[in-house]
Amino acid sequence: MIKLLDNYYLKGDANCYTLTQEVKVKDKIEYRAIAYYTTIQDLITGLIKMKSREYINKIDLQTIQEFKKYQEELLEKIKTELGSLDEIKI
């Protein structure tokens, strides 16, 4: 498993890539599948979209530029975890 962002991880098998989330259940850490993807790029894009929807639901944004900046910051955090991923765009 590869850490992507906060408590989100990338997991893979012969069929797909899985976005998983680390959750604590009764003093035990579990990893729950959030979504399945055919490419790593799709998985990262999906994570950014999911986190963006959560963010826009919590925060009162004034401009689209603020929203875009948040998405770019997420991508930079993921790039820091994984190394350079220049081909991934949001």
What is the full per-residue pLDDT of the chain (90 aa) written as tens digits? 888 988 999 999 999 999 999 999 999 999 999 999 999 889 999 999 999 888 888 877 778 888 888 889 988 888 888 775 555 555
Q: Which residues contact 32 (CB under 8 A, 6 or more apart)?
A: 20, 21, 23
Q: Which helix (H) or strand (E) holds 70?
A: helix 64-82
Q: Quick one: tokens of 34?
A: 């959030």
